[in-house]
Amino acid sequence: MKSTKEASIEVGPREWWDSWGFQSLDESNYPEEAPGLKDAVDGYKKSVVELCMKIFRGFAEYLQLEDPDFFIDRHKALKNWEIQSHNHIRCNYYPVFDQEALIDVCEETLRVAEHNDFSTITLLVQDPVGGLEARTPEGEWISVPPIEGSILLNAGNMLALLTGGHFPSTVIILYLVPP
């Protein structure tokens, strides 16, 4: 299989997940065992890019910026996929555990430790399992229950920087067993 391995099943002492993604979206980064995957990912990326451009224009309108493409112009790779960038499509896999295996797992066991993303935004398509929490600006942790058919938008560090903190970076944590 030709994929870019980004993490192993045990990332930290109490994190359980696996991830793979593409450093660049050329043919050599796709597993040979999955014909058609490149076309599917390219189609998905095109849709996500269109969504990001709408979101970025919405940010500019909300902030009453003179230039509606302020954010888009700072993400040139959205319009030209040949530009090396930090735009990523990454698939995180969280192994399924049966209830018997979870009996000995404490409720603080994490799939992913507390963090915020470096990016401008992260679009998260959630699974129905749950366990995601976000920290409010006041420091309170709140559950982020999955909503079928929705996409969760997390503000990243770059968005906080570009907006002078108007949109603070979202701090999240993902528990193995929803608390």
Kindly state the average pLDDT of the residues 125-137.
Answer: 87
CA 176 to chain centre: 17
Which range among 51-55, 100-104, 161-165 shows the weakest confidence by mean pLDDT? 100-104
Q: Is 143 helix (H, G, I), strand (E, B) or coil?
A: strand
- Give the pLDDT band (50/70/90) at residue 5: very low
Between the CA of residue 4 and those of 8, 117, 169, what are the distances in Å?
11, 20, 27
Q: Is the pLDDT of residue 132 over 70?
A: yes
The three-state DSSP-derived secondary structure of 156-171 is CHHHHHHCCCCCCCCE
Percent of the chain with pLDDT over 90: 37
Residue spans per domain, the chain: 4-175
Q: Which CATH class is domain 4-175?
A: mainly beta
CA dist., res. 36 & res. 108, Å (int)? 39
Kindly state the average pLDDT of the residues 12-16.
Answer: 44
